[in-house]
Amino acid sequence: MMWSGWTFTKIMIFAAGLLHFIMAIVTVSFWSTHDNQLHYQNSYKYAYYKSDYVASNPPLTNTTDLVNKVYKDRCHVDKNTGYHVLGLTMKVYKDDVYQNKQVGMTWFPRQASFVNYTELNGYAILMSIFIFSCIFEFIAFHSIPQDDTKHFDFTRYPCAFRWMEYAVTSPLMILLIASSLMIRDIYVVYMLMLAQVAVCQMGYAVEYAIANKYKDDQPSHSIGATELVGLVDFYETKVDAKGKPNMTNRLFWFSFSPAVTLHVGIWAVLIGSFEFQEDTNCTQGEQTGPWKDALRMVIYLQLIGFTTFAIIPVFQAMMVRILGGRNCFMFKKKEAVTETDCEETMASGYLAYTIVNVIVKVLLGITYISFVRMYPFSTKEYL
């Protein structure tokens, strides 16, 4: 029997689905009362933009001066550049209107649709996350056999539907966090979401390598950076009995490494945006207050949660000796990895993913609702 026991796993999956369902109801409840109870109406609605530019002769000195004044009155000058507006200067030599004249150009935001929506609703995004997760959990609950002695299929190979759930809900979570951080450039938002989808798809490949480790003809060996990038001519290359490289090791590394790289890049953008906004030191109006502390809770708790997802496969890889080799503290046996070892590893990972998944999403619901009900800004289409 697996160390977790499938009875306990079923209980945890049912509890996770129930919590997701409850949080969906809570989200709808706060959504329905937001505009009636709070002074900050529409703070949960997000519009997005594309960078556009305007050009004129003479240059737009009046517009630039106006924008400069707004920034100077409300925010601290950026310490690195000292500038407020980024502009271009164009010289035209062969044109009937602008010949031999200097033309000023300045970037301005132009509203862009997210897919076909002019604005997105933060409560609706949050509710969608919980509903989709709830549906998956109850499907998983009914998929586990009643008898603990029977094999659960997802101990033999990764659960594709679960990774599909992550590939849908985690990009929506990134979208919600990015929108809360005022990242409204439509192209940046798209790329952040697509990068998160790629992370989830690579996660499936990582788990597939772990599940199939026992199929290797020889015990696992750890590979270093030189072998990872193909610089093996100067080092001994370990192969299996058929003279082929250890495929599960390669599959793990070439999936895990880019996934971690994308994860670091996504959160570097999110945290960098938050820190830049803090450095502007806006003080007028209602731009300071407890909503900033709530926003910190949103971003840093989610950072910890998303990173935990990346740590789970590391421990799984240790358990089947993809990492650490024969001396790994997670694997005390000296013989080759067996099918049972892989099944136990997959079962433990399944339970760990279930627990972390529900904790991270419930924390997002609690912290986001707390934040958005104190958030003083809302996007106006006419701006």
Question: What's the mean pLDDT when you consider all of the chain?
Answer: 76
**What is the domain class of 6-40+122-372 according to CATH?**
mainly alpha
| Model pLDDT, residue 205 | 86
Q: pLDDT tens, 255-282? A: 888 999 999 999 999 998 888 766 555 5
What b/e sequence results for 245-268 when a residue is b if at least 16 CB atoms lie within 10 Å of its CB, and e otherwise?
ebebbebbbebbeebbebbeebbe
* DSSP 8-state assignment for residue 237: P
Tokens describing residue 61: 């000195």
Q: How confident is the model at residue 94 (pLDDT cuts 50, 70, 90)?
A: low
Distance, in Å, from the CA atom of 145 to the CA atom of 6, rounded to the nearest integer, reads 8
In Å, how far are 223, 226, 231, 232, 242 from 236, measured between CA atoms? 11, 11, 11, 7, 16
Exposure of 289 in the CB half-sphere (CA atoms within 13 A): 13
What pTM was estimated for this model as a whole? 0.80
Strand duo 120-121 + 45-46: pairing: antiparallel
pLDDT tens-digit readout, 330-372:
555 556 777 788 888 888 888 899 899 999 999 999 999 999 9
Q: Where are the domains of the chain?
A: 6-40+122-372, 48-112
> Which residue has 């997002």 as its token pair?
364
